[in-house]
């Protein structure tokens, strides 16, 4: 396991790249156009689990003792933070499910957003959040492209006084990471992989295409 601290603007900022060949083999699978929807969701869920385990090692812990059958005490570290897991529909859902397996006691929140394919701006259609005051909020979304969707979610979360905000993504574009950290350098970002390019229509390159469609199929435009 290797933690790479990336340097931005001559400042150490918390982007944690959990470099691991098992995780990379899962990223390879979700990039593969032949991976079907069911497999795609399953691989994303695994990625969520692995990255969440990496996140856990950086959380506050408390010690707990257990007396074994040998009548000797063993001491272990447990996560000592109140966690709220949040995701952005649709594509964030399988990744979120994987993170939830690692933090099953967490409360959960949901955002529904639509990205306008021309302006690349997301509109927030639905927000369901538990109280997040002084809690650690982990936002899991599969793709961090321009960062626009995450930023909309972050701004809503920030107004409600969280202790800290952590982002998990499967693939993040460098530009999206930079946009988030420009907004708030205290946010901790855990991408499973960072891609270099964002094309003119806001897709990550090499990326994996439209993550929502890869999970659930094409969507139609419904005006309401």
Where along the sequence are the contacts to ligand URA (CB under 6 A)?
Answer: 91, 143, 145, 202-204, 207, 210-212
203 binds, among ligand PRP, ligand URA, none (CB under 5 to 8 A by kind): ligand URA
204 binds, among ligand PRP, ligand URA, none (CB under 5 to 8 A by kind): ligand URA
**171 token code pair:** 């693939």
Residue among 64 and 123 whose Cβ is closer to ligand URA: 123
Environment class of 63 (CB within 10 Å of its CB; exposed 0-12, middle 13-18, buried 19+): exposed
Q: β-pairing, 164-173 with 61-67?
A: unpaired
Residue among 26 and 122 whose Cβ is closer to ligand PRP: 122
Q: At residue 220, what are phi and psi to the nearest 5 degrees? A: -95, 160
Contact 114, 123 (CB under 8 A): yes
Name the 3-class secondary structure at 172: strand
163 binds, among ligand URA, ligand PRP, none (CB under 5 to 8 A by kind): none
Q: Which residues bind ligand PRP (CB under 6 A)?
A: 88, 90-92, 115, 120, 122, 141-150, 176, 202, 210-212
**67 token code pair:** 């007396």
Residue among 168 and 211 whose Cβ is closer to ligand PRP: 211
Residue among 145 and 157 whose Cβ is closer to ligand URA: 145
Rounded to whole angstroms, the Cα distance separating 208 from 84 reads 28
């Amino acid at each position: 396991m290797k933690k790479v601290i990336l340097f931005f603007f001559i400042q150490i900022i918390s982007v944690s790249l959990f470099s691991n060949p098992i995780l990379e083999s899962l990223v390879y699978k979700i990039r593969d156009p032949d991976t079907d929807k069911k497999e795609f969701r399953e691989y994303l869920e695994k990625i969520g689990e692995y990255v969440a385990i990496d996140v856990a090692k950086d959380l506050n812990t408390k010690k707990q003792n257990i007396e074994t059958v040998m009548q000797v005490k063993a001491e272990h570290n447990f996560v000592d933070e109140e966690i709220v897991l949040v995701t952005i529909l649709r594509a964030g859902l399988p990744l979120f499910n994987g993170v939830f397996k690692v933090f099953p006691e967490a409360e959960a929140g949901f955002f529904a957003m639509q990205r306008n394919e021309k302006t690349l701006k997301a509109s927030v259609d639905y927000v369901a959040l538990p109280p997040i005051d002084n809690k650690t909020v982990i936002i899991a979304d599969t793709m961090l492209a321009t960062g626009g969707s995450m930023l909309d979610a972050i701004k809503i979360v920030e107004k409600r006084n969280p202790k800290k905000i952590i982002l998990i993504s499967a693939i993040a574009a460098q530009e999206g990471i930079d946009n988030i950290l420009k907004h708030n350098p205290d946010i901790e970002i855990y991408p499973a992989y960072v891609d270099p390019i964002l094309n003119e229509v806001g897709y990550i390159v090499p990326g994996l295409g439209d993550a929502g469609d890869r999970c659930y199929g094409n969507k139609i435009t419904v005006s309401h």
